[in-house]
Amino acid sequence: MKKLLRGARVIDPSQNFDDIRDVLIVDGYIADIKDKIEISDVEVIELSEKIVTPGLIDIHAHFREPGYEYKEDIESGSKSAAAGGFTAVACMPNTKPPIDNAALVEYLKSQASKVGIVKILPIGCVSKGQQGKEITEMGDMAQAGAVAFSDDGKPVADSSLMRKAMVYASMFDRVIIDHCEDPFLFEGGQINEGHVSTLLGLAGIPVAAEEIMVARNILLAREMKTRVHIAHISTKGSVELIRKAKSDGVMVTCEVTPHHLTLTEDAVKTYDTNTKVNPPLRTQEDLEALLEGLKDDTIDAIVTDHAPHHIDEKDLEFDKAAFGMIGLETALGLILTRIVSKSGLSLKQAIQKMTSGPARVLGLDMGTLKIGAPADITVIDPNLVWTVDKHEFFSKSTNTPFDGWQLKGKAVMTMVDGKAVYSNSVS
């Protein structure tokens, strides 16, 4: 099977490439990229004024299966990912039961294979049952296909356990992804601690709750000479800590979400529970520091932290509502509209943070259009103006604060191994 993507602007940060080219796909792999490809017996897809990139990779999402399929499952999550331009998604293990053994890793891979839309990359738990007391059998899970380990949704609060886990994971060339939160400082918190929390009468979550754990993880990684990845950073202090650690040679990486790049604590003033996320939306100063962290490569990846919830878990008083928002179908549009257009982050930099950047964090052989690589491809229409409608999402859930936002730029085709798993308005 041969396909020719003709006349697109091809952006591949892994090869420092940005030019108008044709892309030839043969039997699911990238066969050639050049100025003009002349070949017969091929399906031609005209992509003038479109952008072709390596398939987007999200290394932090929640598909809720097993146990919470009423919120999301592998099939609905995969459809949502494909519609957002993502070809691979790493799924967090805070399910029911948690993904804390090889059998459950294999279950996820089996379900993903049956669905056959995007590539599902299981993340295993750091501790058994996410209880923070005993390390899981990481070696068995790694062999079964776990790409990393995390107790996301909770921090690894026990520093001794975290220290051992970082060393243990390194034996299998895996990284620990830590949700940085001091549980004693966080306890009962609802939104960022500051003027807005006082104004609204909601319990605050101080920046120190995050930064103390970021600093601890950096110290452990430095001492043990192992890698650590910091999930969804949200504060100026976290950026500064990680920037300094990287300059000192510590093997630390980190990620940021589109909502922390586009919203501040002011969005919570309407008491919209869709703005209730963990870590919380912070200040404008924090947001600007996150943008600078992206531009100077302190931040390695943009992730969605896609966190679907049933309406009954969000349509509540603010302090009773669940934390989290969905993000797979809005992430690219938000980045193109609100970050690339306005912050000084280049389009190629943004694509790098959603392709080769996250691939490098997890050591994945993905995020590239090199000859011979699997044809995992995202086709973007940068001029497509569209309005977010939560009722049109492929996700089972609708918990987004971006409903009604007008965005410019959208994935119009997503290809996995050369097969179109999502297509919208591409001939």
298-342 pLDDT tens trace: 999 999 999 999 999 999 999 999 999 999 999 999 999 999 978
Rounded Cα distance between 373 and 88, Å, is 14
**Under 8 Å between Cβ of 287 and 375:** no
What CATH number was assigned to the domain covering residues 2-52+374-423?
2.30.40.10
In this model, does residue 119 exceed pLDDT 70? yes
pLDDT of residue 248: 98
Is-catalytic flag, 305? Answer: yes
The boundaries of every CATH 3.20.20.140 domain in the chain are: 55-362
For residue range 379-421, list pLDDT tens digits in order: 999 999 999 999 999 999 999 999 999 999 999 999 999 999 9
Rounded Cα distance between 34 and 21, Å, is 5
Residue 343: which pLDDT band, with cuts at 50, 70 and 90? confident
For residue range 201-252, list pLDDT tens digits in order: 999 999 999 999 999 999 999 999 999 999 999 999 999 999 999 999 999 9
For residue range 249-293, list pLDDT tens digits in order: 999 999 999 999 999 999 999 999 999 999 999 999 999 999 999
Contact residues for 315 (Cβ-Cβ < 8 A; gap 6+): 273, 321
Phi, psi of 207 (to 5 degrees): -60, -30
Tokens representing 136 are: 């899981």
Contact residues for 310 (Cβ-Cβ < 8 A; gap 6+): 70, 71, 397
Residue 1: which pLDDT band, with cuts at 50, 70 and 90? confident
Contact residues for 7 (Cβ-Cβ < 8 A; gap 6+): 20, 22, 46, 47, 48
In this model, does residue 35 exceed pLDDT 90? yes
Q: What is the rounded average pLDDT for all residues in the chain?
A: 97
Kindly state the average pLDDT of the residues 69-97. 98
Residue 426: which pLDDT band, with cuts at 50, 70 and 90? low
SS (H, E, C) 203-266: CEECHHHHHHHHHHHHHHHHHHCCCEEECCCCCHHHHHHHHHHHHCCCCEEEEECHHHHHCCHH
In this model, does residue 92 exceed pLDDT 80? yes
Assign domain 55-362 to its CATH architecture.
Alpha-Beta Barrel (3.20)
pLDDT of residue 427: 47
Kindly state the percentage of the chain with pLDDT values over 70: 99
Kindly state the average pLDDT of the residues 136-150. 98
pLDDT of residue 158: 98
Lowest-confidence pick of 105-109, 293-297, 341-345: 341-345
Candidate list 151, 182, 286, 305, residue with the active-site label: 305
- The torsion of the CA quartet 346, 351, 352, 358, rounded to 10 degrees, works out to 140
The boundaries of every CATH 2.30.40.10 domain in the chain are: 2-52+374-423
* Predicted TM-score (pTM) of this structure: 0.97
pLDDT of residue 344: 87
